[in-house]
Amino acid sequence: MRAITVATVQMQPELGKTEDNLLKMSAFITRIASEQPVDLIVFPELITTGYEVGPRFPELAQRVPGPTVNIVAQKASELGIHVAFGMVTKEKVESIIYNTVVMVGPEGDVIGQYNKIHLRGEEQIAFRPGYKLDVFETNFGVVGVVIGWDLAFPEVARSLVLDGAELLVVCANWEQPNEEEWETYLRARAFENAVFVAAANRVGEEPSYTFCGQSSIIGPRGKIYATIKTPPEAPRPISASPTPGKPKPPTPPEGYAVARIDLDEIRQYREETQILQCRQPAAYRAIVKKY
């Protein structure tokens, strides 16, 4: 039995305020670790900066390791946990920046980083797309990382699983009114790969977007182990006058979902379903064609 405890944080970052966001992340980490033993804490995509930073992304980008990573790594080391979180990173060429998830380990070390491959909309203006999918070896198992719109491409999850991933960490900025799409993709990736999925999606508003939350931990047969539900919309009184346009949807809360999962269940479900063994790669040639 390889049981671990995973928490996915649903948080609203302050736009462009890295220090404030790191303080908030640190408070979440402390709170979660003090309430129960935990092995991995997952934060959303671009959680240190927010999403609609635009031309300020280059000045907010940091190297790995760097000040932001070192702060999170120190906190992870103090508590003996793994932390995965989204940030904007740069390499040797200052003008080339990436939408990245970094995972740090309980020794304060950088276990790995992944640069988002599938950029959507204005992300294509701000960031350089990644080009490589990697799995991260941890002391509890093998982890694959998915960022935001990567989730819509089943090839990403399947490639990570074929490389050994037992847990898919999803860090996202998924917006309203696309909650149903988000929930469907999460369960589909878990079902079709017989893999655990730990998904952290941010909340809050920015100039052009309102983010939908619904952070969840899902099992290899689609079972939802934990989720942060948005409160239902309050019913409108019968006597109330109709309001033109759509009513504003309820606001997803900040918080975290936590669950105890057993990674050994994956082998059992894959043997039962034969989902990987029965693949026929020779028939899938069209998948690797660009058009």
Residue 236 lies in a domain: no
- Place 238 in a pLDDT band, splitting at 50, 70 and 90: low
Domain that holds residue 164: 3-231+247-288
**Interval 22-36 mean pLDDT:** 97
On the question of pLDDT at 237 being above 60, the answer is: no
Give yes or no for residue 242 having a pLDDT over 90. no
User: Using H for helix, E for strand and C for coil, what is the string for 107-156?
Assistant: CCCEEEEEECCCCCCCHHHHCCCCCCCCEEECCCCEEEEEEHHHHHCHHH
Over 60: is that where the pLDDT of 118 sits? yes
Q: Summarize pLDDT for 164-223 with one digit per residue, the tens.
A: 999 999 999 999 999 999 999 999 999 999 999 999 999 999 999 999 999 999 999 999
In a domain, 214, yes or no: yes
DSSP summary character for residue 287:
G
Number of domains in the chain: 1
| Residue 258 included in any domain | yes
Spatial separation of the C-alpha atoms in residues 106 and 34, rounded to whole Å: 16
- Is residue 124 within 8 Å of residue 130, measured between CB atoms? no
Distance CA 195, CA 273 (A): 12
Say if 170 falls within a structural domain: yes
| Rounded average pLDDT over 269-284 | 92
pLDDT at 244 over 70: no
Residue 241 lies in a domain: no
Helix (H) or strand (E) holding 58: helix 57-60
For residue 35, being part of any structural domain is answered with yes
Residues 233 and 251: their CA atoms lie apart, in Å, by 9
For residue 250, pLDDT beyond 90 = no
Indicate whether 16 belongs to any domain: yes
The mean of the pLDDT values for the chain is 93
Residue 237 lies in a domain: no
pLDDT at 236 over 70: no
